[in-house]
Amino acid sequence: MNERIGSLKGKLIVSCQALPGEPLHSPYIMGRMALAAKVGGAAGIRANTAPDITEIKTMVDLPVIGIVKRNYPDSEVHITPTMDEIGELLQARPDIIALEATGDLRPKGVSLEDFYRQVRDVCPSVPLMADCSTVEEAVRADELGFDFIGTTMVGYTVQSRDDCIDKDDFRILRSILERVEHPVIAEGNINTPEKARRVIDLGAFCVVVGSAITRPQLITKTYAGALELIGK
């Protein structure tokens, strides 16, 4: 692990993403969001799409975890699902490339094992992060050789729909930490400072927080929803 990525240990990564149709969807805005995150103390950024990553890198000199979210009709895998997305990311040169490492097949029926080998052939020196949804998927990704194991997909897949990252004091995270060799990045519904502190105390390498910081429409909705309960 190089010094730049090593600087993330015990620190906060802020996910600066806005999908098409969301109010803040724009590389320009994501660049400024990343700058705001840096001013607030973020040690790294997670970003979606090559244009956003490129803009963010003009605004902050922080390690970037890069992804491309794209939907394909023949697959449930959405995060960096094919080699096309890998190629786009290599042009933007993030410090780490993250890809979905669930049990679902990728487009055209490609298995995770085959895809992992394809990616390593193209970019053998780029650290890879596995976005997993279950303990079993995390162990599988660890055995394949991913450089980082992430809890990103917990609660977002059919196989994990009854779980959430903070269930039973982060039971899934604790199980993953016990069973894998590579560093674990805690991510997914870590929506309070207390939860972020807890996952680091449990042994996570670092923590990624997204919507609770960078999606104002969702943050606003929680306040508006609370006020609507008054008098009911």
Please report, as a single letter, which amino acid is at residue 172. I
Distance separating the N- and C-terminal Cα atoms of the chain: 54
pTM of the shown model: 0.95
C-beta neighbour count of 175 within 10 angstroms: 15
Average pLDDT, the chain: 96
pLDDT tens digit string along 3-16? 999 999 999 999 99
Superfamily of domain 3-228: Aldolase class I (3.20.20.70)
Tell whether the model's pLDDT for residue 230 goes beyond 80: no
Confidence band of 228 (pLDDT split at 50, 70, 90): confident
pLDDT tens digit string along 211-225? 999 999 999 998 998
The reported pLDDT for the residue numbered 161 is 87
Locate the domains of the chain by residue range: 3-228
Retrieve residue 197's tokens.
């502190």
CA separation for the pair 35, 42 (Å, rounded): 9
CA separation for the pair 128, 97 (Å, rounded): 5
DSSP 76: S
CA separation for the pair 132, 27 (Å, rounded): 27
CA separation for the pair 149, 184 (Å, rounded): 5
The reported pLDDT for the residue numbered 231 is 56
pLDDT tens digit string along 139-193? 999 999 999 999 999 999 999 988 889 999 999 999 999 999 999 999 999 999 9
Confidence band of 202 (pLDDT split at 50, 70, 90): very high
SS3 129: strand
